[in-house]
């Protein structure tokens, strides 16, 4: 689970050269631009990316940690279906690293929410 303060996040997004500049895929940016509050949408997606890293780490409890590859957030993508239900898609070396550390058959379950000044994401990771 992760919680993001939307006004602070929006202010950080507005800073030239921010670390968040490359954190979102073109699809995430496009989806957020179509929303009533693009900053809240991106904040929820950032929370989702953080929650995925936390779920990955928690699944390794008792085992040595696996450091995610550089640029991990850009390779964790929040996608939505035709009914705007969110899902997690892992890309490139992050998908490979997760599969090698946890196995290939994983299901990521994602819930996003934002209200007033806060956005949150909850992720669970299950095996079939």
Which residues span the domain enclosing 31?
Answer: 2-126
Q: What are the pLDDT digits (tens) for 19-38?
A: 887 899 999 999 999 999 99
CB proximity list for 30: less than 8 A, separation 6 or greater: none
Q: Which pLDDT does position 59 carry in this prediction? A: 92
Q: Which pLDDT does position 19 carry in this prediction? A: 85
| Mean pLDDT, rounded, for 44-50 | 97
In whole angstroms, give the CA distance from residue 40 to residue 93: 28
How many domains are there within the chain? 1
Confidence (pTM): 0.93
CB proximity list for 32: less than 8 A, separation 6 or greater: 24, 38, 41, 42, 45
**65 — pLDDT class (breaks 50, 70, 90):** confident
> H helices of the chain, where?
6-13, 26-33, 38-59, 92-102
Q: What are the pLDDT digits (tens) for 3-18?
A: 999 999 999 999 998 9
Q: What are the pLDDT digits (tens) for 66-117?
A: 776 678 999 999 999 999 999 999 999 999 999 999 988 899 999 999 999 9
Q: Which pLDDT does position 24 carry in this prediction? A: 96
Q: Domain holding 103: CATH number?
A: 3.90.470.20
pLDDT-wise least confident of 62-66, 86-90, 121-125: 62-66
């Amino acid at each position: 689970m992760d919680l993001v303060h939307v006004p602070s996040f929006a202010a950080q997004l507005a800073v030239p050269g921010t670390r968040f500049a490359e954190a979102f895929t073109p699809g995430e940016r496009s989806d957020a631009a179509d929303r009533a509050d693009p900053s809240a949408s991106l904040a929820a997606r950032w929370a989702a990316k953080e929650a995925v890293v936390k779920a990955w780490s928690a699944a390794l409890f008792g085992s040595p940690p696996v450091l995610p590859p550089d640029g991990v957030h850009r390779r964790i993508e929040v996608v939505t279906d035709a009914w705007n239900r969110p899902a997690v898609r892992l890309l490139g070396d992050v998908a490979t690293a997760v599969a090698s550390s946890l196995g290939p058959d994983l299901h990521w379950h994602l819930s996003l929410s934002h209200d007033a000044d806060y956005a949150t994401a909850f992720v669970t990771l299950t095996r079939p």
